[in-house]
Structure 1
Amino acid sequence: MSGNAFKGLWFGAALLLSACGADWGPDQHGRTVESSELEGRWLLVNYWAEWCGPCRTEIPELNELAAADTGLQVLGVNFDGLQGDELSAAAQVLGIEFTVLGDDPSERLQLPRSEVLPVSYLIDDKGALRRTLVGEQTRDGILGIWREER
């Protein structure tokens, strides 16, 4: 391997590793979600919108899941890209009690863009997408799928 190729490989690896440790941006309360809070954890990343009826029905189930001490971290993402005060207001109107990310993590987690809502992605503790859950989910249903995947 030439010196330039090695430098390019090393630089690319350094960028990848630095992205892994980067913070996840602000939540709906303006608090920074630090990478140390999510590293090595199973994640359920749920995309929602105010105009989505099934999302509204699903949110209480996700609140229960987030409140349970299961080891599965629930994260929300607004499908319409709301941020700041708009995101905070929408999350409050829908009664969302789990963390809602102001920055969409789809690129970071290599998530496909869904054309339907609600959609949730089950991410394992190594950061790999394990399941795509399309449509309204229940707390117990998600826990069952998560237990199968672990």
Structure 2
Amino acid sequence: MGVGLQRVLGRLVMAMFAGLLLAGCAEDAGVDQHGRKVAVERLEGQWLVINYWAEWCAPCRTEIPELNLLAEQLAGQAEVFGVNFDGLQGEELAKGAEDLGIRFTVLATDPAPRFDLPRSEALPVTYIVDASGKVRARLLGEQNAEGLRKRLVELQAER
């Protein structure tokens, strides 16, 4: 094989490798309630609080302001995500989130398969997932910001 052909093949292999790396960077975790892509990096390498809610769930409605507060308090330390229990999509998801006053990110794609979250028959349910993707807590019923923050700190200290 000639030197020229080796260079061409080498450059081709490098270009393919670079393309694969860039394709991996473009991976997303679906969209949020506003139709914006959610980068997969937001779900990896950090602590997550994942809350399942529904419009018909009275405790969910009173819990949402607490989750909004928690999301503000945890900025840069952990990420708060919501998931609609009924699987609303598109405009219905946007309207449901707006009607409940949700200010944190609501995932249109359920992250349950990614983190092996068990389906709950009761709402609200909140999962705390550690930075390695392991479910560390399953909290049934209405939560408040102070209690969730305290539980998160306890779990982080256990590492």
Q: TM-score, normalised by structure 1?
A: 0.84
2:124 maps to 1:118: yes
The code of the aligned residue for 1:115 comes to E
In 1: Cα distance, 2:150 partner to 2:76 partner: 12
In 2: Cα distance, 1:32 partner to 1:108 partner: 17
Task: Give the number of the structure whose alpha-carbon radius of gyration is greater.
Answer: 2
Moved over 3 A (4+): none
Decide whether aligned partners of structure 1 residues 100 and 81 sit closer, same or farther in structure 2, where only a CA change above 3 A counts: same
Per-residue CA deviations over 1:5-34 (Å, capped at 9, x if unaligned) read xxxxxxxxxxxxx99x94210000000000
Structure 1 residue 146: deviation in Å? 0.4
In 2: Cα distance, 1:138 partner to 1:107 partner: 26
For 2:13, the equivalent position in structure 1 comes to none
Q: TM-score, normalised by structure 2?
A: 0.79
Per-residue CA deviations over 1:59-97 (Å, capped at 9, x if unaligned) read 000000111136121000000000000000000000000
2:131 maps to 1:147: no
Structure 1 residue 37: deviation in Å? 2.5
Unaligned runs of 5+ in 2: 1-22
* Matches for 1:77-116 after TM superposition, within 5 Å: 77-116=83-122
Unaligned runs of 5+ in 1: 1-17
* Matches for 1:1-150 after TM superposition, within 5 Å: 22-68=27-73, 69=75, 71-150=77-156
The code of the aligned residue for 1:26 comes to V
In 2: Cα distance, 1:120 partner to 1:70 partner: 20
In 1: Cα distance, 2:107 partner to 2:63 partner: 18
CA contact (8 A) 2:42 2:79 kept: no
The code of the aligned residue for 1:137 comes to Q
In 1: Cα distance, 2:46 partner to 2:67 partner: 17
Structure 1 residue 38: deviation in Å? 2.9
CA contact (8 A) 2:33 2:93 kept: yes
Per-residue CA deviations over 1:92-126 (Å, capped at 9, x if unaligned) read 00000000000111011100000000000000000
In 1: Cα distance, 2:42 partner to 2:86 partner: 25
Structure 1 residue 36: deviation in Å? 1.9
